[in-house]
Every structure is written in structure tokens, then in C-alpha cells.
Structure 1
């Protein structure tokens, strides 16, 4: 009896120890879960704080980021001039001066036609309203339906109409006219980054504690610079060709100031999807203002749709390569978000910001498994 009682007590003790261990494991698991939740919450709050700071400081941050993007385009030229024996400061000065001369030349060539179109904005609006009224026949049924629904529900039907009081000139000027301080900040950041790019990169990695972290940061820096340079360098060449083709298209169909629309097409094409859509709308509106028949106004935008389709689906992907291809939905979301944050400049820098994020995560969280074949 004593032996049986001892065995029973030992079994109970073992069961109690197992229950205690299970309880400790459950408590530890719950603590780890709450720790993960806390880390995610803190990270999310930090990300929101960073985004809020970027939004509030956009007058300072946007010119600096734009200068970084332009500097990555110009870095191969500066490095090549330095390898050929020219001092770094002199190389940066020559490249920056050439860039400013090119931009000023374009502005001088296009200032007259741009002023012409801005001065005729009111007349353009009146002509477009008249054209749209002549095309509004298919919408009459919808207007009548809206009025009928308004009478039934007791609310006045508004129908479809064209806004009369749109201030086109102030909208265009507010987009195209940069602040003087932001222009100076952009130019200063561009020059200093081109001069001290190597020192900035080397000094910034010294704050990291381990050698592996520093090497990883240097690889991330190099990969970001290479991808950004290849992307924008290739895209610049493609956009120059697109601008020439658009100029010839506008001249062939008889649109006035064809060089203006060619330069505009080259600039807007830096913004994926949105730039092409804006250019199609601009060609259509200019065609409505220029030609009496709507069918003639549709020629230029329809041809441009074909040109941009070939460029976006065949020429650019073939030149970029598979490694530079990004998810179209991610690109679209990035453009929408950064346009909301920073306006038109945000749409321009959305792709390099997305590319930088993808490259950084690719190095920090490398794939252990090989890519599956298509």
C-alpha cells in the first residue's frame, strides 16, 4: 500500500510539473505574441511620424530628393570626366552648367508658344465648351433621366454640364512656376551631392556597428545608384526619341507649335501611366481648338496611343531588362501616394523611391529559394 501511494504521489507530482511547464510555455508564448504586436505598433507609429514629417517638410525634402534623382542621372558623366583627368569639382561645374544651359535654351524656345497658349486660355475654354456642347447629344437622355429622378425624389436634377469658371491660367502657373528658394535648394543639393557623393556614402556607413552591416549598406548604395542611373538614363534616351516622334506627329497632322507638344510628351513620359494619359488629353484638346471637325482632332491622340503603347510595352522593357521591371500595380500605387504627398514632383520621384525601397528590401531580406520558371 505504501509503495502504491508513493507511486501515485510521484505521478501527481509529475503531472503537476508538466502542467506548470505548460502554463509557463503558454505565458511565454502570450508574452512573445504581445511583444510582436507592440513592435509592429511602434514601427507603424514611427512610419506614420516619418510620413507626417515628410509631408510637413515637403518644401525642403522634395528639392533634395529631386536633386538626388537628377544627380544619379549625371553621375556617369561626372565619373567619366574625372577618370579622364579632369578634377571632380571642375567636372561637376561643367556638367551642371551644361544642364542649366540646356534647360534655359528649352525654356527660351518654348516661352513664346507657351505664352501664346496661356494668353488664349479663356478663348480656348470657350471653344472647348462649344465643342463639348455640340458633342453632348448622346447625354441628353441622361439629363432628362436626372431631371425625372429629381422630380420624383423632390431634389432638383442638376444634369450634366461643363464647369464655366475654371481658372486654367492660375492652375498651370501654380504647377509650372517653382519657388525661388526651392530652385536654389535644388541646385545647391545637386552640386554638393555630385562633388561629395563618395564621401557621403563612405561616411554614412561608418555609423553602423558591424563590418557586415557596413558591407551590406555599401552594396545597397551601389545597387540603388546603378539601378537609378540605368533606369533614368535609359528612360531619358527613350523620352528624347518619344519627344522627336511626337513633334513630327504634331507637325504632320497640322497642330500648331509642334515642338512644344514634343517637349511636353518627353517630360510627361517620366511619369508612368499618368503622363501618357495627360498627353493624349492635351493632344485631343489642342486638336479640338485647331480643327473644325472632331474626327480630325482625334487623329493625333489615336496615333499617340499607338506610339506610347509600342514604347511602353516593347521598347522600354526590352532596353530595361527583366531585372529592372517593377510590378505595375506597385508603380501605380506609388505614383498615386507620392502625388498626394508632394504633388507633380512626387509623381516624378515616385518610381525612384519605389526602386530604392525594393532594392533595400532585396538586400535585407534575400530570397533563399530560387525563382520559379515562367
Structure 2
């Protein structure tokens, strides 16, 4: 009798503990699931809108914006493929229900997309530097066809860095490092390979991006200083004629006043064009700088954690690692806001889209009420 009572008490305590665990799980899973769903929806809608705006507005079809749209396509695929399947894995407490072969296919897609986003950042920085160095020749040398070729090459590079190892690592080594129901790359705990790929994937690109953006910044500063230095008043300039950046090349007593007036107007137009060009380049450099900052802030923690785990499996908490993984992917949701913030044309189309959506909803509501 006492044994039965003891067993019943134990059973009740165990049942209560299970209920508490389940309740705690629900308290965690529900807000986590809502947060993940918001990130996925924003990433998909924002990048779809970016792509649609590019094809709608012909003036946006430049080489630079082709790279931006390629980045938007990459982020869209992350939102449609990488995030939803990994959300299931995360919410099921690291249980992969889709099988061994789909795990490999998923890892190939995810790693390729993530690396492509890094390669595009380097291409964007090189493009801005070429714009500064080539000047008017930029439009003739960096055509849309050249941009498409660069993008094609970047996808090949992104695929080749990780995909062979993801597909064949366990075949080459004869060992499956994944536990049943888990999905991870087989080389996750190989320090040498992980360190090498981390340097290639993040270390070298980050150094390249920092150097390229520093060169861009210094080049723009040099142009601004040059613009300010050349605005001097010529010694013999006739009265009533405003100083321009090129007026110092012409002596004040050479030719009639009308010639000076014509040259002054022409030089003023050139100055205005030069100022607009510098402003445009400065704005483009700032927008690129923001993209690089977001890239570094979202990628660096994940990369460092990956290196640590490859050397010490238990040194990084599983939940922290999952958070850093999702932090990396939030870049896909943030980038469309950066495009709208940095580009007036993108921003105008985005606002028009949301205003039209509100207007359609208002008309539908009024029609329903009248009906």
C-alpha cells in the first residue's frame, strides 16, 4: 500500500515536472516562432520588392544595381529556403526531420548562398572604386554584360568552395559525424578545414572590403579637397566675372568680356556637374559602407563561434550558436531597408508600393461596408 502511494506521488511529481517543462517549452517556442516568422516574411517581401522595382524602373538598370539585385536574389533564396527549413530544425530543438540526402542538398544551397552574399559585397566595392578611377570611361567598360559575367563567375566560386566537402566529406573519411536526427556539415569539428574556410569566407573578404572602402573614402576626400583648392580668384580677372574652378587658366586681359562670360558660364556648369558627381560618389560610398558594416556585425560573431566549436565542441552554448546563426541571416531582412535608405529611386518605389497597398485596403474596406 505504501509502495503504491509512493509510486503515485512519484508519478504525480514527474507528471507535474513534464507539464512544467512543456509549459516552459511553449513559452519559449511561441515568441521564438513569431520572431523567426517576422524575419522570414520581411526578408522575402523586401527582396521581392527590390527585384520588382529593378525590372520596373529602367533608370535603375545599371551595373551597380545589377549587383544589388543579385544580392537581393541571394537574400530572397535565403528567406525562401535556408530560413524556413532551419526554423523547423530550431523549433524542434535541433531535430532534423527531412532526412540525410536533403540535409546535404540543403547545406550546399545554404553555404553557397551565404558565400555568394560575401563575394557580391567585394564586387560592389570594386565597382565603386572603378567608378572613381575610370571616371567617364566607367560606363563604357563596366557594362551590364560585364556585370552579368562577373555575377556568373561569383556563383561558380561560391559553389566550389564548400559544396565538394559538404557532399563528399563523410564518403572520403568513412565516418558520419552527425548524430541521428541531426543536420550539420561533416567537417564542423575539423579545426584545420574550418579555420581555412573561415579565413577564406570571412577573414580575407573583410580585409579586402576594409581596404577597398578606405581607398574609396580617401579618393573621395582627395576630390573634395581638389574641388575646394581650385576655386581661387584669378589675379587679372575683370570685375563682375565670378571665379570658377578653371578661370585661373585664363589671363584677365585676354579677349573681350563676352568671351569671359561664356567661359565663366561653361566653367560654372562644369563645376556644378563635378559637385553633383562628388555628391553622388559620396552617397554611394556611404551606402556601401553601411552594407559592409551590417555584413561585419552579422557575420563576425557566427564565424568566431564556428572556429571555437571546431576546436572545442562544448565551449559554445547550443542556444547561443543558434542565435548567432539567425543573426547572420537577419542581414537578408535588413538589406532591403538599406537599399531604400540609400537610393532615392528605390525609396520612392517602396513608398509608392506601400501607399498603394494601404489605398487598396481602404477601398476594399469602404466597399465592404457599403455592401
- Shorter chain as normaliser: what TM range? under 0.3
- TM-score norm. by structure 1 comes to 0.24
**Which structure's relative contact order is higher, taking Cα pairs within 8 Å and 6+ residues apart?**
2
- TM-score norm. by structure 2 comes to 0.24
Larger C-alpha radius of gyration, 1 or 2? 1
